[in-house]
A and B are shown apart, each in its own frame.
Chain A
Amino acid sequence: MLSTTTSQNAGQGVREITLGQAIREALAEEMRRDPRVFMMGEDIAEAGTPFKVLSGLVEEFGTSRVIDTPISEAGITGMGVGVAMTGMRPIVDIMFGDFIGLAMDQIVNQAAKVHYMSGGKLKVPLVVRTTLGATRRTAAQHSQSLHAWVSHIPGLIVVLPSTPYDAKGLLKTAIRDDNPVIFFEDKMMYQLKGPVPEGDYIIPFGVADIKRPGNDITIVATSSMVQIALAAADGLEKLDISAEVIDPRTMYPLDRDTLIESAKKTSRVIVVDEGYERYGVTAEIASVISDGAFYFLDAPVKRMGAMNVPVPFSPALEDLTVPTADSVMEVAKTLCGRI
């Protein structure tokens, strides 16, 4: 059973739980609701993953639905595609996002293509859960944020939750969707707490969330960068700069309208994401905004991503590679003419 520590809020069944607990709750509720839903991955059963996100699930659902696999990312992802094509709803756990390189043919050439290539006859209701995010001191092969790779591929849906509430609602939507969904969780945010309703709710794909309204500048932020953007917005408020923070929540489908409308309102935009800045999702989002709000902008859309280096191990170096609240504030001040 779930080991969530609940602190009830105002009779709505809303509690403060961690993002990891929200993930686990979504999985448990969906597996109770639909016997076709099951999970497979490395060290997900008794071990509950290295992040302990899945602890307790094998006790409720057994090893036939919480399946420990060999260390074979391509194999388990490929089998996930075949299982999904034939009546089940698998959730494949890829421990570190860096490992999707091993499964890329199965994701890109198989999962993403089956529905289209079959003329719409075959469906792949597969969820691949994986992680992103640096600053865990795990160096270049366990720290990358590679969601841009799969966001590039037609046929895939790409989800990046940034709060416990979003994580639960979006994961439920992912499990119920008939398309392959790549679901990236920031491994550094599993302990982040936030209000989450008990019981069932879903969040539709392609609907951005305004995490904080504002008027002077828009900060579009994804996943791990949402908390950074919110902290930056707090700092900017003290300088009398009103920042609007928007989380697209899904890279595809992308809620272009909400991004463009905010840009039209504020006239200045920063896009912050933990993927490499080079050819990153920030470029796509900046392009969408530039196209849609060109005549309303007072400055070029500014992109901020991870430095274009393999993530270094030494804390003294690693912390330099990702945007921080301070660095976002500095860019915002510049765009607003405060420097």
Chain B
Amino acid sequence: MSQSKASGSGEFVEARHPASDQVSTAGAQLLETEQVRWLSIYEQMLKIRIFEEHVNQLYTSAKMPGLAHLYIGEEAIAVGVCSALRRDDYITSTHRGHGHCLAKGASVDRMFAELLGKEAGYCRGKGGSMHIADQETGNLGANAIVGGSAGIATGAAMSSKMRGSDEVTVCFFGDGALGQGVLYEVMNMASLWKLPVIYVCENNQYNEYTHNSETTAGEMSARAKAFGIPTEEVDGQDVRAVYTTAARMVERARQGEGPAFMLCNTYRYLGHHVGDIQRSYYRSREEEEYWKTERDPLKMLAEWLMAQGVTTSGTFEQIEQRVRAEVEAGEQFALDAPYPDPSEVEQDVYA
């Protein structure tokens, strides 16, 4: 695999194909199928953004119990990567997992229901925000132990290989997980056994409330390279770069060529969790403003699409109306949904 692919290239995975080279040229007419794809990707990112804004409101109005770790600012990674996956491919996610779950195909109504601890939720209210799992869409679960799903993801990839299936597994984790030893144990085995797993490190710079310059020595990408795992660093705010790189890595893994590691540089607009409001002791307001105004993944994709000359602001307004209606309906569904019956408490401890 090429290790030199720069971030933000904007190429499609088919870009190797001479006929589609033109599509990455600014001003050229987007092929209709590609326009549909990028608008769909935009809509998915917007859905995550608006979903999370509603979660924030639910939480701050005391309608949501527990913890809420919002994905706002990082949407391009979940959507870019999951757009390169099939429905039967697997993902594992993190405590900041709403975006991954939605991008892999979860519906907002059952997501909200799980966040509110309702019976109609994806885990019947037993998992909550940090544990949403949905085997129908290949989601093996968000995981509230940092780095905790690395073993599960690598095992799922091992299973696919043993079963002779061509499914690929994506393991999402943050830069904080680079401190966990189990990640290195399983990357070693993934490389030894050429397992079809993509490690996607969402480097939002902060291990909870601590900048990773205080926690992480050396080069992040050197860690995976040390295991002989092809590694690429991409602009995690540029969904076209994320998608292009992910698609190439996924295809390679599907062909039996083994794991890959993707370091996506991104930013968490809000706190570690909703209650993390006073952030000045670990990062500046100027830094936050820079990412929101200059590096926003939704803005960046919208501007690019408009520059192609085929998408107007009216298109984006229509998308936003549709997404807002869906999210509002989903939230209302969850608010109206019943809690689990008390008899549920002892159900499902054992299969």
A interface vs B, CB < 8 Å? 38, 64, 69-70, 72, 74-88, 90, 105-106, 109-110, 114-125, 154-155, 157, 177-179
The answer to whether the Cβ of B155 comes within 8 Å of any Cβ in the partner chain is yes
A35 to chain B, nearest CB (A): 9
User: Do A69 and B155 form a contact, CB below 8 Å, given A38-B162, A117-B126, A118-B133?
Assistant: no
Give bound CA distance, A85 to B159, whole Å. Answer: 9
Which of A87, A115, A116 has the most chain B CB within a 10 Å cutoff?
A: A116
Chain A residue with minimal CB distance to B350? A179
Q: Which residues of A contact B192 (CB under 8 A)?
A: 70
Q: Which residues of A contact B92 (CB under 8 A)?
A: 82
Contact A114 B141 (CB under 8 A): yes
Partner of A106, one of B121, B134, B151: B151
Q: Mark B152-163, 1 if CB is under 8 A from A, else 0.
A: 111111111011
User: Do A85 and B140 form a contact, CB below 8 Å, given A78-B152, A110-B152, A179-B350?
Assistant: yes
Which of A90, A121, A177 has the most chain B CB within a 10 Å cutoff?
A: A121
Contact B185 A74 (CB under 8 A): yes
Partner of A78, one of B127, B150, B351: B150
Contact A83 B188 (CB under 8 A): no
Contact B189 A70 (CB under 8 A): yes
Give bound CA distance, A106 to B159, whole Å. Answer: 17
Give bound CA distance, A38 to B155, whole Å. Answer: 13
A180 to chain B, nearest CB (A): 9
The answer to whether the Cβ of B42 comes within 8 Å of any Cβ in the partner chain is no
The answer to whether the Cβ of B145 comes within 8 Å of any Cβ in the partner chain is yes
Q: Which residues of A contact B189 (CB under 8 A)?
A: 69-70, 72, 75-76, 79
Q: Which residues of A contact B182 (CB under 8 A)?
A: 74-75, 78, 105-106
Interface pairs A-B: 7 shortest CB-CB:
A78-B151, A82-B155, A75-B185, A119-B124, A79-B155, A120-B348, A82-B152
The answer to whether the Cβ of B122 comes within 8 Å of any Cβ in the partner chain is yes
Give bound CA distance, A278 to B32, whole Å. Answer: 71
Contact B140 A122 (CB under 8 A): yes
Chain B residue with minimal CB distance to A38? B162
Give bound CA distance, A179 to B349, whole Å. Answer: 9
Contacts A/B (CB < 8 Å), 11 sampled: A69-B189, A70-B192, A79-B186, A80-B155, A81-B155, A85-B159, A88-B159, A115-B350, A118-B141, A119-B121, A119-B125
Chain A residue with minimal CB distance to B185? A75
Which of A70, A117, A155 has the most chain B CB within a 10 Å cutoff?
A: A117
User: Do A119 and B126 form a contact, CB below 8 Å, given A86-B140, A105-B148, A154-B349?
Assistant: yes
Chain B residue with minimal CB distance to A75? B185
Contact A88 B122 (CB under 8 A): no
Partner of B141, one of A72, A117, A123, A177: A117
Q: Which residues of A contact B90 (CB under 8 A)?
A: 86
Q: Mark B244-279, 1 if CB is under 8 A from A, else 0.
A: 000000000000000000000000000000000000
Contact B127 A118 (CB under 8 A): yes
Contact B159 A74 (CB under 8 A): no
User: Do A109 and B158 form a contact, CB below 8 Å, given A86-B90, A116-B349?
Assistant: no
Give bound CA distance, A163 to B7, whole Å. Answer: 62
- 16 A-B pairs besides A81-B152, A179-B351 with CB distance below 8 A are A74-B151, A75-B188, A75-B189, A79-B189, A85-B140, A85-B156, A86-B140, A86-B160, A87-B163, A88-B162, A105-B148, A106-B151, A117-B126, A117-B127, A120-B124, A179-B350
The answer to whether the Cβ of B213 comes within 8 Å of any Cβ in the partner chain is no
Chain A residue with minimal CB distance to B157? A82
Give bound CA distance, A86 to B196, whole Å. Answer: 14
Which of A83, A154, A157 has the most chain B CB within a 10 Å cutoff?
A: A83
Chain B residue with minimal CB distance to A155? B349
Contact B131 A117 (CB under 8 A): yes
User: Do A83 and B133 form a contact, CB below 8 Å, given A75-B182, A119-B127?
Assistant: no
Contact B156 A86 (CB under 8 A): yes
Give bound CA distance, A120 to B351, whole Å. Answer: 7
Chain B residue with minimal CB distance to A106? B151
The answer to whether the Cβ of B347 comes within 8 Å of any Cβ in the partner chain is yes
A134 to chain B, nearest CB (A): 28
The answer to whether the Cβ of B57 comes within 8 Å of any Cβ in the partner chain is no
User: Do A115 and B160 form a contact, CB below 8 Å, given A72-B185, A121-B133, A122-B141?
Assistant: no
Give bound CA distance, A105 to B149, whole Å. Answer: 11
Q: Mark B182-205, 1 if CB is under 8 A from A, else 0.
A: 100110110010000000000000
Give bound CA distance, A110 to B146, whole Å. Answer: 12
Q: Which residues of B contact A118 (CB under 8 A)?
A: 122-123, 126-127, 131, 133, 135, 141
Partner of A86, one of B121, B123, B143, B159: B159
Give bound CA distance, A178 to B141, whole Å. Answer: 18
A65 to chain B, nearest CB (A): 9
The answer to whether the Cβ of B342 comes within 8 Å of any Cβ in the partner chain is no
B90 to chain A, nearest CB (A): 7
Q: Which residues of B contact A69 (CB under 8 A)?
A: 189
Which of A85, A105, A118, A122 has the most chain B CB within a 10 Å cutoff?
A: A118
Partner of B162, one of A83, A154, A155, A179: A83
B309 to chain A, nearest CB (A): 45
Give bound CA distance, A177 to B351, whole Å. Answer: 9
B200 to chain A, nearest CB (A): 16
Contact B188 A82 (CB under 8 A): no
Give bound CA distance, A83 to B347, whole Å. Answer: 24
Give bound CA distance, A61 to B196, whole Å. Answer: 23
The answer to whether the Cβ of B181 comes within 8 Å of any Cβ in the partner chain is yes
Contact A115 B158 (CB under 8 A): no
Give bound CA distance, A72 to B180, whole Å. Answer: 13
Contact A122 B135 (CB under 8 A): yes
B66 to chain A, nearest CB (A): 13
A209 to chain B, nearest CB (A): 22
B343 to chain A, nearest CB (A): 14
Q: Which residues of B contact A72 (CB under 8 A)?
A: 185-186, 188-189
A175 to chain B, nearest CB (A): 14
User: Do A84 and B155 form a contact, CB below 8 Å, given A38-B162, A122-B135?
Assistant: yes
